[in-house]
Amino acid sequence: MVFVMKSNYIIFLIILFECTLFAQNSFDEQFNLTKKLYSDENYFDTVTELKRLLFFNPNSEYIYSAYETIGKSYKQGAKFSDAIRYFTLAEINALSVDEIYNSRIDIIRVNILRRTTDRAFKLLDSLEADIRFNDKIDEINYWRGWAFIFADDWENAAVTFAGIDSTIELTVLAKKVDDDLYSVSFAKTISYIIPGAGQIYTGEYISGLLSLGWNILWGYLTIKSFIDERIFDGIVIANFLWLRFYRGNLQNAEKFAKEKNLIISNKAMNYLQFEFKGLKP
Amino acid sequence: MKITELLFFFMLFTSVNPAQTKDFDFSSPINIKKFADFLFCDRDYLRAALEYERLISSEVKDTLLFKIALSYSIIGDYPFAIKYFGKIPYSSSYINEAQLELIKTHYLMNDYYGVRSFYNNSFIKEANKYQLEGNKLFNFSYLFTKDELPSKEKFLSPFNLSEKDEISEYYDWKQDPLYKSSTIAGIMSAIIPGSGKMYVGEIGDGIVAFITTTVFSFIAYDNFKAGHNTRGWIWAGVAALFYGGNIYGSVAAAQVHNAKITFEFNDGLNVFLQKNNYYTPAYGFCDEK
């Protein structure tokens, strides 16, 4: 009697095992299909098929990889909020410290890419403070450097990259960009002292000379009016013409410095996007 | 002995099994339907629509068509939404909802003449339900166009008491919009500098325009009077520039004011309609059962 019971139990186990085996195989195939779709850059279908896999097999062994790949696919389609949602799900379902780390880095990279760099810095700080990731400090700093680049803080980017041995190219680039950038406050300050000097500093010579000329003309007429005791004329010229051109000169100096800085930053970003071979956000 | 045999067969079977596995069928209609329903309730509407579309060849159900149309409508693919709402047969239990959704889709496409034409040619005849809602949307369409409004009584008749006050305000606003004439603004500023801007409501700008034009004109006059003709002409030129600028500025201010009024009016209407979900019902496809 005991023997019959045992054999029934074994048969039951076999059937159960077989059922699981059937499912496993087809889900394997589905997972392999999604890998192929991803490698073919068919990101829309990758997401669809991975969602299908997760829907029918929510507790599968692929759950981390599936969420991570969905996140990556959304990121490729510039659906950054969706990407972060799925990277977070990947982190929740991570089975090892490495998987947790990779998910967080993925989230940080998306935050860098969409320029929510404050969030990226906070996440990087929390990673750095976590003792489980003490051996990853260089990599954490690498992404911190990128966050500084996207925050348009090339000086700190250069300092951060300089602390990592393998990032000479990025260090040199960030330092060069930082050196090339115009100081907006300096441009404004020298324009306060000599109208047009800020524009000349940013390379806008004609605009600078014109600004200087207008300010000399209206300044001369204002002073001459006061000397000739035409006080009302003097006040009106000073208020409506001289001050107007003086203020315009300051605004122009600031505007030109910002525009030139944008061109320099964009040129560097263009290089990073198309020519830089290393890891990018 | 029996157990050993059993185990042997088991091992044999499992080792051969993968090659012969009858897979879990992701593409069976029932699984596609389950997955599409999940996507629909997860608000992934494009994928949901595409999954539902896969089922159309195997089974044509009006619920499927309705959900596809609804998905396309939500993601803003209105031509497809119209196509699928239009495919719902008249015998379907969703025909009334589909008709109302078609009016909503025309609204979302800013096709207000389409709203009226569809209402008159199809909705009134085909829909057995939601006539009141359709009538409200039909009347609303007049607020978006320049066509003559129906009488206030007729216009307000389909609306509830709770809605009537707000709708009545919109009706009055449309009847007598707070527009300012750019011609009047220009003429006023030509007569008294700055007055056109004040008429438009830009009091501060009007005062500044008045003072600057007057001051420069006075300086020009004073210089001519003192015999400084060259300076007089320079200041006259400056005064003329400010005078011309004041007229142009008044005309532009009236146009900007009118554009702002139109924008605020349309925005208010759209917010009202969105708040009421264009009078379409909640379908409860994703309610917990």
Tokens of A47: 């997401």
Q: Could you give phi then psi for residue A203, rounded to 5 degrees?
A: 90, 5
Domain ranges (residues) in chain B: 30-145, 182-272
pLDDT at B193 over 80: yes
pLDDT class for B18, splitting at 50, 70, 90?
very low
Give Cβ neighbours of residue A268 (< 8 Å, ≥ 6 apart). Answer: A149, A154, A173, A177
pLDDT at B14 over 70: no
Chosen from B2, B6, B16, B21 to mutate, greatest number of chain A CBs within 10 A: B21
Residues A103/A87, Cβ–Cβ less than 8 Å: yes
pLDDT by position in tens, chain A (length 281) = 555 555 565 555 555 555 454 445 788 888 999 999 999 999 999 999 999 999 998 877 889 999 999 999 999 999 999 999 999 999 999 999 999 999 999 999 999 999 999 999 999 999 999 999 999 999 999 999 999 999 999 999 999 999 887 778 999 999 999 999 999 999 999 999 999 999 999 999 999 999 999 999 999 989 998 998 888 888 888 988 899 999 999 999 999 999 999 999 999 999 999 999 989 99
B136 to A143, B125, B139, B170, B268: CA distances (angstroms): 56, 16, 5, 13, 16
**Would the CB atoms of A6 and B3 count as touching at under 8 Å?**
yes
DSSP string, A150-191: HTT-HHHHHHHHHTSTT-HHHHHHHHHHHHHSPPHHHHHHHH
pLDDT at B20 over 50: no
B40 to A133, B34, B50, B52: CA distances (angstroms): 40, 10, 11, 10
Q: How far apart are CA A198 and CA A210, in angstroms?
A: 12
What integer best gives the mean pLDDT of chain B?
88
What pLDDT does B15 receive? 47
**Would the CB atoms of B26 and A240 count as touching at under 8 Å?**
no
Task: Name every chain A residue with its beta carbon within 8 A of the beta carbon of B18.
Answer: 21, 25
**Level-2 CATH architecture, domain A12-154:** Alpha Horseshoe (1.25)
Task: Name every chain B residue with its beta carbon within 8 A of the beta carbon of A52.
Answer: 26, 35
What pLDDT does B60 receive? 66
**Would the CB atoms of A48 and B34 count as touching at under 8 Å?**
no
pLDDT at B134 over 90: yes
Q: How many helices (H) and strands (E) does chain A have?
A: 14, 0
Which among A11, A21, A27 has CB closest to B14?
A21
What pLDDT does B234 receive? 87
**Would the CB atoms of A52 and B26 count as touching at under 8 Å?**
yes
Q: Could you give phi then psi for residue B115, rounded to 5 degrees?
A: -60, -50
pLDDT at B79 over 60: yes
Which among A21, A23, A51 has CB closest to B39?
A51
What pLDDT does A216 receive? 95
pLDDT class for B21, splitting at 50, 70, 90?
very low
**Would the CB atoms of B34 and A55 count as touching at under 8 Å?**
yes
What pLDDT does B56 receive? 84
A281 to A46, A68, A196, B266, B286: CA distances (angstroms): 21, 15, 40, 42, 37
Q: What is the ipTM of this complex?
A: 0.74
Task: Name every chain B residue with its beta carbon within 8 A of the beta carbon of A22.
Answer: 21-24
Residues B33/B48, Cβ–Cβ less than 8 Å: no
Work out the average pLDDT over B45-68. 89
**Would the CB atoms of B14 and A29 count as touching at under 8 Å?**
no
Residues B65/B95, Cβ–Cβ less than 8 Å: no
Work out the average pLDDT over B29-58. 92
Domain ranges (residues) in chain A: 12-154, 184-272
pLDDT-wise least confident of A69-83, A228-242, B210-224, B263-277 = A228-242
pLDDT at B103 over 60: yes
Tokens of B264: 């605020």
Residues A37/A46, Cβ–Cβ less than 8 Å: yes
* Cα Rg, chain B, nearest whole Å: 34
pLDDT-wise least confident of A229-243, B19-33, B120-134, B177-191 = B19-33
Work out the average pLDDT over B41-52. 95
What pLDDT does A181 receive? 94
Work out the average pLDDT over B18-32. 72
What pLDDT does A27 receive? 86
Which among B3, B50, B219 has CB closest to A233?
B219
**Quick one: which of A198, A175, A190, A174 has its CA closest to A257?**
A198
Work out the average pLDDT over B13-21. 45
Chosen from B3, B22, B24 to mutate, greatest number of chain A CBs within 10 A: B24
CATH match of B30-145 with 3.40.50.2300:
no
